[in-house]
Amino acid sequence: MAKSKWEQVKDKLILVEGWAREGLTNEQIARKLGINPDTLYKYQNKYSEFADALKKGKEIVDYEVENALLKNALEGNVTAQIYWLNNRKPKHWRNKRENTESNNKEITKVQQLLNKIKEEAENDNNR
């Protein structure tokens, strides 16, 4: 009797882990297994050993990339430093600041000052 598709995939869990460690996407792994990506996600939800193989492989490479990013940041790579701080300390380093009441007051003051400068420049031009 022929093996079911799951049984064929189950026999390749070590390969799944290795492919995940090499950085392959879930879609690429599905292609290598000869299954549809939707089937991969179903297997991931249904079979814990499959989900664990994907997770274990991805965790290893994620740690390696994190370590490389940290090393680059510590060696003075400004892009790596910005990325690290934006993600590790978002309240202090995120690119988008939230408009608080005090920020809004400051923005209003700056707008009023700019309007005053603009009016004075227009008056000077009309003289």
C-alpha–C-alpha distance, residues 42 and 96, integer Å: 37
User: 28-48 burial string, b = 16+ CB within 10 Å, else e?
Assistant: ebbeebebeeeebeebbeeee
98 or 19, which is more confident: 19
This prediction's pTM: 0.62
Residue 29 CB contacts under 8 Å (≥ 6 apart), including other chains: 16, 19, 20, 40, 54
Give Cα separations from 47 to 53, 63, 67, 72, 119 (angstroms).
Answer: 10, 25, 31, 38, 70
| pLDDT, tens digit (0-9, with 9 covering 90-100), for 54-93 | 999 999 999 999 999 999 999 999 999 999 998 888 888 8
| pLDDT, tens digit (0-9, with 9 covering 90-100), for 105-123 | 887 888 888 888 888 888 8
| pLDDT, tens digit (0-9, with 9 covering 90-100), for 34-58 | 999 999 999 999 999 999 999 999 9
Looking at the chain, which runs of residues are DSSP E strands?
none
